[in-house]
Amino acid sequence: MKVTVEQSKCIAAGQCVFEAAEVFDQREDDGIVELLNDHPPAELHAHVREAASVCPAMAIHVEE
C-alpha cells in the first residue's frame, strides 16, 4: 500500500488521525494533515482505507 495526501485540499477535520494515528498527524499551527508513514504495515491497511473514505475533503489517496 502507498499513501499520499494533498495538503492543499485538507480542511483539518482530523478524521484521519482518529482512524489511523500511526499514519496521520496534524500540523500544530493549522491542523493540516501530515503523513507519517507512506507505506504503512499490513495491520494498518484497513484503518488507512477507512481514513481515506471518511476524509471530507478527499485529500487522502491509497494505492494498493
Domains and CATH numbers, the chain: 2-63 (3.30.70.20)
CA distances from 52 to 29, 30, 45, 55 (A): 23, 20, 11, 5
User: Contact 34/24 with Cβ under 8 angstroms?
Assistant: yes
36 grid coordinates: 507519517
Give the model's pLDDT for residue 60: 98
Give this prediction's pTM: 0.95
Give the model's pLDDT for residue 36: 98
User: Contact 9/59 with Cβ under 8 angstroms?
Assistant: yes
Task: Round to whole Å and give the CA distance between 27 and 46.
Answer: 24
Give the model's pLDDT for residue 51: 98
Q: Give 62's pLDDT tier (boundaries 50, 70, 90).
A: very high
pLDDT digits (tens, 9 = 90+) for 5-54: 999 999 999 999 999 999 999 999 999 999 999 999 999 999 999 999 99
Query: 48: buried, middle or exposed (CB in 10 Å: 19+, 13-18, 0-12)?
Result: buried
